[in-house]
């Protein structure tokens, strides 16, 4: 896929107020660690995550998404009356019905003529939303639009810790699929995209590539359990292997589609799972890991928010400047991979 008329404004993001360290989690899980003789420090050692952020109790996904949306709209300076589309892209949602986008739309005071809908695809939802909006812009259907995501990890993290403490039948082997849930964090991000024929920021979405490898859709599954809250089971080792191979196929398509090479890209912003994942990804794709900007140690895995919020923070810190090329590299359960090329 390629785009000719799509420009990006600056990202807006919001980091939740509560910091939960990996040490805090292990102190809470001390009885489990003692029973299974697990070494303290295991969680940070395995994941590379020192801390993750959480919202105050009761915060809805739409609230964080709306806050980030306001930041993005204010930075863009786009007239809200010209916003023709709003897409909410998180794993987390306020409720089954109506669409969470309806709550964000109301909070942002966007016009009644604005298309609004939810788009969910595990950790790739935000990037999928960028493609959907880019298509609408290319077709001349909208002048500008907003992509938002607000992930709320509180229930998953709390339910997982409670289950690990209460389920006495857990062994060193059977507890492994639960640890990935403790790497998850909360956050919110948004971006305004416009038709460069109307408003050219100089930052262009060039195109991208996608791959689906659904033979492995069983490796990471989760949802609401009526008795135990939200739980997720992840075969982390096999998910890493198959995810990397899916990403390698996607990367091959990305290079062919855009005519870009790894050497010509100045900065990479990735969906972040853990340090082992990042190391394996860059080795397999034969990319320079020094070009990878990370927020993993302080934010953890923030689902659909991870890659875009990392890019937003990287831009703020001068890690991507005008005239440079960037690639958003996404891998999500399913398994799916999506990569986007941006000229900043």
What CATH number did the domain enclosing 327 receive?
Answer: 3.40.47.10
pLDDT at residue 11 above 70? yes
Residue 57 covered by a domain: no
Q: Which residues pair with 147 in a beta bridge?
A: 87, 191
Residues of the chain with pLDDT > 70, as a percent, come to: 99
Arithmetic mean of pLDDT, 153-161: 95
CA atoms within 13 A on the CB side of 17: 3
Residue 259 covered by a domain: yes
pLDDT at residue 175 above 90? yes
pLDDT at residue 163 above 70? yes
Q: Give residue-wise pLDDT tens across range 230-276.
A: 888 888 888 889 999 999 999 999 999 999 999 999 999 999 888 88
pLDDT for 219 equals: 83
pLDDT for 224 equals: 63
Residue 278 covered by a domain: yes
Residue 208 covered by a domain: yes
pLDDT for 287 equals: 95
Give the model's confidence band at 311: pLDDT under 50 very low, under 70 low, under 90 confident, else very high: very high
Residue 225 covered by a domain: yes
CA atoms within 13 A on the CB side of 311: 31
pLDDT at residue 228 above 70? no
Q: Catalytic site residues?
A: 97, 123
Residue 248 covered by a domain: yes
pLDDT at residue 15 above 60? yes
Q: Give residue-wise pLDDT tens across range 52-65.
A: 999 999 999 999 99
Give the model's confidence band at 227: pLDDT under 50 very low, under 70 low, under 90 confident, else very high: low
Residue 307 covered by a domain: yes
How many separate domains does the chain show? 1
Q: For residue 254, what are the domain limits?
A: 204-343
Q: Give residue-wise pLDDT tens across range 18-28.
A: 999 999 999 99
Residue 31 covered by a domain: no
pLDDT at residue 226 above 80? no
- Whether cis (ω within 30° of 0) applies to the bond prior to 17 is no
């Amino acid at each position: 896929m390629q785009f000719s008329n799509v420009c990006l404004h600056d990202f807006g993001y919001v980091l939740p107020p509560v910091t939960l360290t990996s040490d805090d989690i292990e102190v809470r899980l001390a009885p489990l660690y003692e029973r299974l003789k697990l070494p303290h420090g295991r969680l940070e050692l395995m994941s590379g995550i020192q801390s993750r952020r959480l919202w105050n109790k009761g915060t809805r996904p739409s609230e964080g998404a709306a806050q980030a949306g306001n930041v993005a709209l204010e930075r863009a300076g786009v007239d809200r009356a010209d916003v023709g589309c709003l897409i909410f892209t998180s794993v987390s949602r306020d409720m089954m019905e109506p669409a969470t986008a309806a709550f964000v739309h109301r909070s942002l005071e966007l016009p009644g003529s604005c298309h609004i809908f939810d788009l969910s695809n595990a950790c790739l939802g935000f990037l999928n939303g960028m493609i959907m909006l880019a298509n609408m812009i290319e077709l001349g259907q909208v002048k500008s639009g907003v992509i938002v995501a607000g992930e709320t990890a509180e229930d998953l993290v709390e339910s997982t810790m409670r289950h690990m403490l209460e389920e006495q039948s857990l062994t060193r082997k059977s507890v492994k699929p639960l640890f990935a849930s403790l790497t998850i964090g909360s956050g919110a991000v948004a971006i305004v995209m416009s038709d460069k024929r109307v408003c050219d920021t100089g930052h262009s979405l060039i195109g991208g590539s996608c791959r689906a490898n659904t033979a492995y859709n069983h490796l990471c599954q989760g949802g609401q359990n009526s008795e135990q809250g939200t739980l997720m089971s992840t075969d982390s080792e096999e998910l890493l292997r198959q995810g990397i191979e899916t990403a390698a196929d996607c990367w091959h398509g990305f290079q062919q589609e855009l005519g870009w090479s790894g050497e010509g890209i100045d900065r990479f912003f990735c969906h972040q799972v853990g340090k082992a994942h990042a190391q394996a990804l860059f080795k397999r794709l034969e990319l320079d890991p020094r070009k990878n900007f990370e927020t993993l140690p302080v934010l953890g895995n923030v689902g659909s928010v991870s890659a875009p919020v990392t890019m937003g923070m990287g831009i703020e810190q001068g890690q991507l400047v005008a005239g440079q090329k960037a690639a958003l590299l996404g891998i999500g359960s399913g398994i799916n991979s999506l990569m986007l090329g941006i000229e900043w």
